Amino acid sequence: MDKIFGTNHRAQESGEHWLTVSDLMAGLMMVFLFIAIVFMMITQKENDKIKDVAVAYQENQVAIYQALEDEFEKDLDKWGATIDKETLAFNFQSPDVLFANNETRLSDAYKEILNDFFPRYIRVLAPYRDSLDEIRIEGHTSSLGLRGSSNAEAYFYNMQLSQGRTRSVLEYGYSLMPDDAEWIKANIAAVGFSSSRLVLNDGVENEAMSRRVSFRAITNADIQIKRILEAQ
């Protein structure tokens, strides 16, 4: 037939053309598939890193809580204190023992407690320093303010009160451990939360329990996770 009608060069060229495009598309699909697989592997690797940090964080939380519990178990009741397993907050919840009403000056009874508590607390946390972001001394009050004050006035009055109290606690703790003064300055913060974190019982404010001072060990797991994400 080719001898009679001749060869259809256009059809032949067209076939070769489409064959080339098909090969090209197949090649591109393989490249995209390879990229997708590599991306999935990288994503899985990063997810595994975050999971490892989360697991280590949980194990570290448990270890710190257990260390605090073992050290202070016999002292909690006499100090009117509790340890929160979830937040690692060591809560002193006997405000009348800690400070006089509307005062920021430490009571003699609280100084005696801190004489015993503060050095032991710092020593217990020493093995975990590399995993800590900071130790925060937190001051909390009830929502009550001075007589006749508005809600806003009460809130900001209590803010000043809670900040003054934690400053007094930190200043006294600092004086107890001169050899660790530089580390304390770099790693322990004093914060006043006023009445923003009330203790509620069935939705009703527990005024006595809301007035407290807490020592909270904050780990750096979130910082490690942020670094992993930023490195992607």
Instruction: Give tens-digit pLDDT for 23-36.
Output: 666 667 777 777 77
Report the pLDDT value the prediction gives residue 224, as an integer from 0 to 100.
61
* pLDDT-derived band at 5, boundaries 50, 70, 90: very low
Check pLDDT > 90 for residue 158: yes
* pLDDT-derived band at 3, boundaries 50, 70, 90: very low
What is the full DSSP assignment across 162-227? HHHHHHHHHHHHHHH-GGGHHHHHHHEEEEE-TTTT--EETTEE-HHHHSEEEEEEEESHHHHHHH
Report the pLDDT value the prediction gives residue 21, as an integer from 0 to 100.
63
How far is Cα 157 from Cα 62, in angstroms, rounded to an integer?
37
**% pLDDT > 70, the chain:** 75
Amino acid at 22: S
Kind plus residue range of the DSSP H or E element containing 98: helix 95-98
**Residue ranges per domain, the chain?**
49-229
pLDDT digits (tens, 9 = 90+) for 134-152: 999 999 999 988 888 899 9
pTM given for the model: 0.73
* CATH 3.40.1160.10 for domain 49-229: no
User: By C-alpha distance, which of 77, 74, 80 is closest to 208?
Assistant: 80
Check pLDDT > 90 for residue 180: yes
How far is Cα 225 from Cα 133, in angstroms, rounded to an integer?
13
